């Protein structure tokens, strides 16, 4: 296992290119199960999670070639409808093969993903939606066993206690595109990654309207054909580099950005006093003066993304003033608090909120990554801290950031990878 060693307090300067979105790639790769024809997906980041999805596609009977960000997915003569526990348990998003399998083959056996470090993470909304499409669902020995004589269109209200669900919306979209008649998903997730999936499905011949709004309408078609698609840029990776620029008092040009997807993040950083300059598909981020604290509440898109909460907390931990950070999507997503405090931050958790009192200086320390975005917040803290930070268990980071250490090195950071 590798760890990252960071010597902090180097200003980051220069240009960085954001990779394709992990959270768009995963359901889009799963959607290739909906057709027997070849599909070509470009801009797929080389990550632990995308590699896991490609392994799952192979286990389901696809032939996959992946090189230089291009995934070519072809069919073989045999297919399987069983997504095994071993693969699904390593990545929750594997559960999004359920929708396309039931859509295409009218049967599926997919392992339940279980909880994870950021919370309980149920799948009730996925199952409720599939039932509304006429799918019979049983849970047996840790698997969801789904079958349907035919999929009928239906009305699905997808709102849950914590808003809508991104992967449930993806699953239902992918099931309904090959259903009979019209399906309406109300309280659908509006995230750009859902929009990108819908755009790919439309290229495959699906009839989908309203994606990007809370009401999605799908008119089922008999079959879908192969298609080519380029994945949207990763808005969370872009947001993480924006914070990196500010935490090191640097000046970075972040390329391959769709800033329309980053409205809430840009707004919060501007409110804290940062300078953010937009041009074409780039963002320049820097700060000429000291930032001041801002309150942040995470919400489903277009609200402030929960996947940027930990990084924002790192920034607020070195920003003068008191900031209240409230998590409304995953109320238990605060694993990074204890580790940031070990680096000298002053953060107190109060239920679904954290009260962050900005300190003058963090100090480097050995810390442990607990989940993907928590790991990113520790890297950011390490970049700003005095002294050396070593971050163990960085396989979490490798799930979601393509070549993060190399990209940071190119921006001037003193960061290296070592064997634990
Ligand atoms: C996706 C993203 C993840 C992001 C999250 C929220 C992918 C691969 N992952 O995860 O990075 O943090 O959206 O933006 O795209 N919930 C239920 N019942 C369900 C499903 C979800 O109660 O059936 C709850 C969850 O526990 C959570 C909230 O709804 O509190 C949002 O979760 P959801 O949008 O489903 O997250 P994912 O799609 O798994």
Q: What is the pLDDT along the chain (420 residues), one digit of tens a residue?
A: 899 999 999 999 999 999 999 999 999 999 999 999 999 999 999 999 999 999 999 999 999 999 999 999 999 999 999 998 988 888 999 999 999 999 999 999 999 986 566 667 789 999 999 999 999 999 999 999 999 999 999 999 999 999 999 999 999 999 999 999 999 999 999 999 999 999 999 999 999 999 999 999 999 999 999 999 999 999 999 999 999 999 999 999 999 999 999 999 999 999 999 999 999 999 999 998 899 999 999 999 999 999 999 999 999 999 999 999 999 999 999 999 999 999 999 999 999 999 999 999 999 999 998 899 999 999 999 999 999 999 999 989 999 999 999 999 999 999 999 998
Residues labelled as active-site residues: 116
Report pLDDT for 312. Answer: 98
Work out whether strand 2-7 and strand 353-357 pair parallel, antiparallel, or are unpaired. Answer: unpaired
Report pLDDT for 60. Answer: 97
**How far, in Å, from the CA of 289 to the mean position of ligand 1?**
37
Binding site membership of 115 for ligand 1 (Cβ less than 6 Å): no
Q: Show the domains of the chain with their CATH numbers.
A: 2-19+233-419 (3.65.10.10), 22-230 (3.65.10.10)
**How far, in Å, from the CA of 105 to the mean position of ligand 1?**
25
Report pLDDT for 89. Answer: 87
Q: Among residues 131, 135, 87, which one has the least CA distance to residue 113?
A: 87
Report pLDDT for 114. Answer: 62
In this structure, which residue's CA is closest to atom 4 in ligand 1? 307
Q: Residue 369 CA to chain centroid, in angstroms?
A: 17
Binding site membership of 130 for ligand 1 (Cβ less than 6 Å): no
Return the residue matching tokens 């960061």: 415
- Alpha-carbon torsion (185, 189, 191, 197), positive or negative: negative
**How far, in Å, from the CA of 166 to the mean position of ligand 1?**
6
List Cβ neighbours of 228 (8 Å cut-off, separation of 6 or more).
39, 40, 41, 42, 203
CB 368 within 8 A of CB 392: yes
Binding site membership of 26 for ligand 1 (Cβ less than 6 Å): yes
In this structure, which residue's CA is closest to atom 12 in ligand 1? 307
Q: From residue 198, give the alpha-carbon distance in Å to each of 193, 211, 219.
A: 9, 7, 13
Q: Among residues 401, 373, 369, 374, which one has the least CA distance to residue 4?
A: 369
Distance CA 172, CA 198 (A): 11
Distance CA 71, CA 315 (A): 36
Distance CA 238, CA 18 (A): 6
Concatenated DSSP letters for 45-91? ---HHHHHHHHHHHHTTEEEEEETTEEEEEE-S----EE-HHHHTT-
Distance CA 344, CA 126 (A): 41
Give the ligand 1 atom nearest the CA of 121: 26
Q: Among residues 16, 31, 15, which one has the least CA distance to residue 231?
A: 31
Give the ligand 1 atom nearest the CA of 372: 11
Number of C-beta neighbours around residue 209 at 10 A: 12
Report pLDDT for 369. Answer: 87
List Cβ neighbours of 330 (8 Å cut-off, separation of 6 or more).
118, 119, 121, 162, 306
Ligand 1 site-directed mutation target among 88, 114, 261, 329, most atoms within 8 Å of CB: 329
Binding site membership of 44 for ligand 1 (Cβ less than 6 Å): no
Ligand 1 site-directed mutation target among 160, 301, 331, 376, most atoms within 8 Å of CB: 160
Angle between helices 166-176 and 192-203 (to 10 degrees): 10
Report pLDDT for 330. Answer: 94
């Amino acid at each position: 296992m590798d760890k990252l060693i960071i010597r902090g307090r180097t200003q980051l300067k220069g240009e960085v290119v954001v990779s394709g979105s992990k959270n768009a790639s995963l359901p889009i790769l799963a959607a290739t199960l909906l057709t027997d024809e070849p599909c070509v997906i470009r801009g797929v980041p080389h990550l632990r999670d995308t590699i896991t999805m490609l392994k799952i596609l192979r286990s389901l009977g696809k032939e996959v070639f992946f090189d230089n960000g291009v995934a070519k997915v072809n069919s073989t003569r045999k297919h399987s409808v069983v997504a095994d526990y071993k693969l699904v348990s390593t990545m929750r998003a594997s559960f999004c093969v359920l929708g396309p399998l039931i859509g295409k083959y009218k049967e599926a056996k997919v392992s339940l993903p279980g909880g994870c470090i950021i919370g309980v993470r149920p799948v009730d909304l996925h199952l409720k939606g599939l039932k509304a499409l006429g799918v019979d669902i049983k849970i047996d020995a840790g698997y969801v066993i789904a079958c349907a004589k035919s999929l009928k269109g239906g009305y699905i209200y997808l709102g849950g206690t914590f808003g809508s669900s991104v992967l449930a919306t993806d699953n239902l979209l992918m099931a309904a595109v090959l259903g009979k008649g019209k399906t309406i998903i109300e309280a659908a997730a509006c995230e750009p990654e859902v929009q990108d999936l819908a755009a790919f499905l439309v290229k495959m011949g699906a009839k989908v309207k309203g994606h990007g709004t809370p009401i999605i309408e799908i008119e089922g078609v008999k079959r879908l054909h192969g298609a080519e698609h380029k994945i949207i840029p990763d808005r969370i990776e872009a947001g993480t580099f924006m914070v990196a620029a500010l935490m090191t008092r640097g000046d970075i040009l972040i390329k391959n950005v769709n800033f329309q997807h980053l409205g809430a993040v840009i707004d919060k950083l501007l409110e804290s006093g940062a300078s953010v300059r937009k041009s074409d598909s780039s963002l320049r981020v820097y700060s000429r003066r000291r930032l001041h604290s801002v309150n942040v509440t995470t919400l489903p898109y277009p609200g402030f993304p929960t996947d940027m909460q930990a990084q924002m907390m790192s920034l607020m931990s070195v920003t003068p003033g008191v900031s209240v950070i409230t998590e409304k999507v995953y109320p238990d997503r605060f694993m990074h608090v204890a580790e940031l405090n070990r680096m000298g931050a002053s953060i107190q958790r109060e239920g679904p909120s954290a009260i962050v009192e900005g300190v003058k200086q963090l100090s480097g320390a050995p810390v442990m990554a607990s989940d993907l975005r928590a790991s990113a917040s520790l890297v950011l803290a390490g970049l700003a801290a005095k002294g050396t930070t070593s971050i163990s268990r960085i396989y979490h980071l490798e799930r979601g950031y393509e070549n993060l250490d190399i990209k940071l090195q190119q921006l001037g950071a003193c960061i290296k990878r070592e064997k634990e």
